[in-house]
Amino acid sequence: MNAIISASELAGALAGENPPVVLDVRWQLSVAKAAGEPPFDGRAAHASGHVPGAVYVDLDRELAGASGAGGRHPLPDLADFGAAMRRAGVSASRPVVVYDGGQGWAAARAWWLLRWTGHPDVRVLDGGLTAWQGELSVEIPAPPEGDFAPRPGAAGLLDADAAAALARSGVLFDARAGERYRGEVEPIDRVGGHIPGAVSAPTTDNVGPDGRFLPAEDLRDRFTALGASGGSEVGVYCGSGVSGAHEVLALAVAGIPAALYVGSWSEWSSDPSRPVAVGPEPR
């Protein structure tokens, strides 16, 4: 099963006999704003227009736990996550399509969580809402309760120690911007740099100018050139486990399984005892 779906394919699926549950996960990273500038309101964006039938899901409240020692977007409480998905109408027997505003990061976080907790059929709308050509709805849906029960998988998740070990034994990709990887700037976390041994692989290089993923073959060539070849175990981290999920999705499109370090740099850098590498080289 392909991990992404085009807008035309989604339109066809919505008109079919078993239409997917559609989740709207529009979100933007909350960073310091200019005085008086309101934060992004995904729920308001949803209310102003969404794919017909799409249910809004709040990344910060429903796809992540409280910010703290585990990072800015740690795993949510699984009971709470399951309840949120059931409220949104998610059932194991119905496919799910997730979209965001076009960047793909938030949608990928929902995709990764649903896949990691056992949903068999989840895809991300390639290009997000900006790719959707159909009409938008302002009607807030009230779907029937779903039956999805999260059952976390044994694979696909890294903690800090496992990420450090993978950087030595396999391939650990850093999905952040290159300047953050090199430690030249760090706008959010305590210190700049990267996990020793990690390879710089910015998420932005996985998509074209329109925000859609590059062809699978091009993605495969990219990751192979960066070291994901020969059956090596692959992992990904980013700032807080959101854009890293997008890289895991890109790897899935390329046919390369990968695990996600959810705590990512926000967790790693908060512990002064953990080593930090700077510069363009992994070590």
* Active centre residues (catalytic): 238
- Fill in the DSSP letter of residue 143: P
Residue found under tokens 């390639």: 126
Name the 3-class secondary structure at 172: strand
Residue found under tokens 């392909």: 2
What are the distances in angstroms from CA 85 to CA 103, 248, 265?
Answer: 22, 21, 27
Here the tokens at position 269 are 């850098």
Select from 190, 183, 194, 206 the least CA-distant residue to 256: 206
Contact 95, 122 (CB under 8 A): yes
Cα 192 from Cα 180, distance rounded (Å): 6
Cα 136 from Cα 100, distance rounded (Å): 14
- Fill in the DSSP letter of residue 234: E
Cα 24 from Cα 240, distance rounded (Å): 20
Beta strands 55-56 and 199-200, pairing class: unpaired
What are the distances in angstroms from CA 129 to CA 135, 145, 166, 173, 198?
Answer: 11, 25, 35, 27, 32
